[in-house]
Amino acid sequence: MDNTFVNQVMSKNVLTAEKSTSLQDAAQEMNRLNVGCVIVMDESNPIGIVTERDFVTKVAAEGRPLFTEISEVMSSPLITIEPEETIWEASEIMKEKLIHKLPVMEKERIVGIITTSDIVRISSVGSDSQMRKICDQILMRMKDD
Protein backbone atom coordinates (compact mmCIF):
# COMPACT_ATOMS: atom_id res chain seq x y z
CA MET A 1 0.00 0.00 0.00
CA ASP A 2 2.87 2.40 0.68
CA ASN A 3 3.92 2.08 -2.98
CA THR A 4 0.43 2.51 -4.34
CA PHE A 5 -0.33 5.89 -5.85
CA VAL A 6 -3.53 7.91 -5.83
CA ASN A 7 -3.88 7.75 -9.63
CA GLN A 8 -3.95 3.93 -9.43
CA VAL A 9 -6.91 3.90 -7.05
CA MET A 10 -8.90 7.07 -7.70
CA SER A 11 -12.24 7.15 -9.44
CA LYS A 12 -12.44 9.31 -12.53
CA ASN A 13 -16.22 9.52 -12.16
CA VAL A 14 -16.42 13.00 -10.60
CA LEU A 15 -19.53 15.15 -10.59
CA THR A 16 -19.04 18.90 -10.80
CA ALA A 17 -21.64 21.64 -10.69
CA GLU A 18 -21.63 25.42 -10.83
CA LYS A 19 -21.95 27.20 -7.48
CA SER A 20 -25.44 28.45 -8.39
CA THR A 21 -26.81 24.90 -8.87
CA SER A 22 -29.73 24.13 -6.56
CA LEU A 23 -29.43 21.52 -3.84
CA GLN A 24 -32.20 19.53 -5.50
CA ASP A 25 -30.50 19.50 -8.91
CA ALA A 26 -27.19 18.48 -7.31
CA ALA A 27 -28.86 15.69 -5.31
CA GLN A 28 -30.65 14.38 -8.39
CA GLU A 29 -27.38 14.26 -10.36
CA MET A 30 -25.58 12.56 -7.46
CA ASN A 31 -28.35 9.97 -7.37
CA ARG A 32 -28.38 9.48 -11.15
CA LEU A 33 -24.59 8.99 -11.30
CA ASN A 34 -24.44 7.05 -8.02
CA VAL A 35 -21.77 9.30 -6.48
CA GLY A 36 -21.41 10.55 -2.93
CA CYS A 37 -20.39 14.13 -3.57
CA VAL A 38 -20.31 17.03 -5.98
CA ILE A 39 -17.38 19.37 -6.56
CA VAL A 40 -18.58 22.97 -6.60
CA MET A 41 -17.18 25.11 -9.40
CA ASP A 42 -16.89 28.84 -9.98
CA GLU A 43 -16.66 28.79 -13.75
CA SER A 44 -13.73 26.40 -14.29
CA ASN A 45 -12.25 26.71 -10.78
CA PRO A 46 -13.09 24.10 -8.11
CA ILE A 47 -14.01 26.00 -4.93
CA GLY A 48 -15.70 23.49 -2.62
CA ILE A 49 -17.41 20.15 -2.10
CA VAL A 50 -20.87 19.02 -1.02
CA THR A 51 -21.13 15.47 0.31
CA GLU A 52 -24.00 13.19 1.28
CA ARG A 53 -23.22 14.05 4.89
CA ASP A 54 -23.66 17.74 4.10
CA PHE A 55 -27.17 16.94 2.87
CA VAL A 56 -27.91 15.45 6.30
CA THR A 57 -26.18 18.01 8.54
CA LYS A 58 -26.53 21.25 6.55
CA VAL A 59 -29.68 20.70 4.51
CA ALA A 60 -32.13 18.31 6.18
CA ALA A 61 -31.14 19.03 9.79
CA GLU A 62 -31.30 22.79 9.20
CA GLY A 63 -34.44 22.63 7.07
CA ARG A 64 -32.96 24.42 4.08
CA PRO A 65 -35.13 24.73 0.99
CA LEU A 66 -34.12 22.55 -1.96
CA PHE A 67 -33.76 25.60 -4.22
CA THR A 68 -30.83 26.80 -2.07
CA GLU A 69 -27.61 27.16 -4.05
CA ILE A 70 -25.03 24.45 -3.29
CA SER A 71 -22.40 27.11 -2.60
CA GLU A 72 -24.31 27.93 0.62
CA VAL A 73 -23.65 24.47 2.10
CA MET A 74 -20.32 23.54 0.51
CA SER A 75 -17.19 22.86 2.50
CA SER A 76 -14.47 25.26 1.45
CA PRO A 77 -11.61 25.68 0.79
CA LEU A 78 -11.38 22.49 -1.22
CA ILE A 79 -8.76 20.10 0.12
CA THR A 80 -7.11 18.19 -2.72
CA ILE A 81 -4.25 15.83 -3.50
CA GLU A 82 -2.12 15.29 -6.58
CA PRO A 83 -2.36 12.01 -8.54
CA GLU A 84 1.32 11.09 -7.97
CA GLU A 85 0.98 11.14 -4.17
CA THR A 86 0.83 7.84 -2.29
CA ILE A 87 -2.19 6.26 -0.68
CA TRP A 88 -0.45 6.83 2.67
CA GLU A 89 -0.36 10.57 1.99
CA ALA A 90 -4.05 10.54 1.05
CA SER A 91 -4.83 8.63 4.26
CA GLU A 92 -2.86 11.13 6.35
CA ILE A 93 -4.68 14.10 4.82
CA MET A 94 -8.06 12.44 5.40
CA LYS A 95 -7.16 11.64 8.99
CA GLU A 96 -5.83 15.13 9.76
CA LYS A 97 -8.70 16.97 8.08
CA LEU A 98 -11.41 14.50 9.22
CA ILE A 99 -12.69 14.00 5.66
CA HIS A 100 -13.71 10.93 3.66
CA LYS A 101 -13.49 12.24 0.10
CA LEU A 102 -10.38 13.78 -1.40
CA PRO A 103 -10.54 15.30 -4.89
CA VAL A 104 -7.50 14.68 -7.07
CA MET A 105 -6.19 17.76 -8.82
CA GLU A 106 -3.65 18.04 -11.62
CA LYS A 107 -2.70 21.35 -13.23
CA GLU A 108 -5.62 23.27 -11.69
CA ARG A 109 -8.09 20.62 -12.93
CA ILE A 110 -10.07 17.95 -11.06
CA VAL A 111 -9.06 14.59 -12.57
CA GLY A 112 -10.51 12.19 -10.01
CA ILE A 113 -11.48 11.53 -6.42
CA ILE A 114 -10.22 9.10 -3.79
CA THR A 115 -12.37 8.05 -0.85
CA THR A 116 -11.92 6.13 2.36
CA SER A 117 -13.81 3.28 0.68
CA ASP A 118 -11.18 3.21 -2.07
CA ILE A 119 -8.42 2.96 0.54
CA VAL A 120 -10.20 0.15 2.40
CA ARG A 121 -10.74 -1.70 -0.88
CA ILE A 122 -7.04 -1.49 -1.87
CA SER A 123 -6.01 -2.49 1.67
CA SER A 124 -8.10 -5.64 1.54
CA VAL A 125 -6.51 -6.94 -1.68
CA GLY A 126 -3.72 -9.45 -1.29
CA SER A 127 -2.64 -12.22 1.00
CA ASP A 128 -3.18 -12.42 4.75
CA SER A 129 0.51 -11.65 5.32
CA GLN A 130 0.20 -8.48 3.22
CA MET A 131 -2.88 -7.49 5.20
CA ARG A 132 -1.06 -8.11 8.48
CA LYS A 133 1.82 -5.89 7.28
CA ILE A 134 -0.62 -3.10 6.37
CA CYS A 135 -2.42 -3.42 9.72
CA ASP A 136 0.91 -3.32 11.56
CA GLN A 137 1.88 -0.15 9.69
CA ILE A 138 -1.46 1.47 10.53
CA LEU A 139 -1.08 0.53 14.20
CA MET A 140 2.45 1.95 14.29
CA ARG A 141 1.22 5.24 12.83
CA MET A 142 -1.62 5.39 15.38
CA LYS A 143 0.89 4.98 18.24
CA ASP A 144 2.80 8.01 16.94
CA ASP A 145 -0.28 10.25 17.33
* CATH number of the structural domain spanning residue 26: 3.10.580.10
pLDDT in tens, 15-55: 999 999 999 999 999 999 999 999 999 999 999 999 999 99
- 120 lies in some domain: yes
- 132 lies in some domain: yes
H helix runs in 45-108, sequence order:
52-54, 87-97
- 58 lies in some domain: yes
How does residue 1 score in pLDDT terms, banded at 50, 70 and 90? very low
pLDDT in tens, 44-67: 999 999 999 999 999 999 999 999
pLDDT in tens, 94-126: 999 999 999 999 998 999 999 988 888 877 665
- 95 lies in some domain: yes
- 1 lies in some domain: no
* Contact between 55 and 35 (Cβ < 8 Å): no
Residue-averaged pLDDT of the chain: 89
- 112 lies in some domain: yes
Number of domains in the chain: 1
Residues 88-95: what's their mean pLDDT? 92
96's CB contacts (< 8 A; 6+ apart) are none
Range of the domain at 68: 6-144
pTM over 0.95: no
How far apart are the C-alpha atoms of 11 and 100, rounded to whole Å? Answer: 14
Amino acid code (one letter) for 73: V
> What angle do the packed helices 116-123 and 87-97 form, to 10 degrees?
140
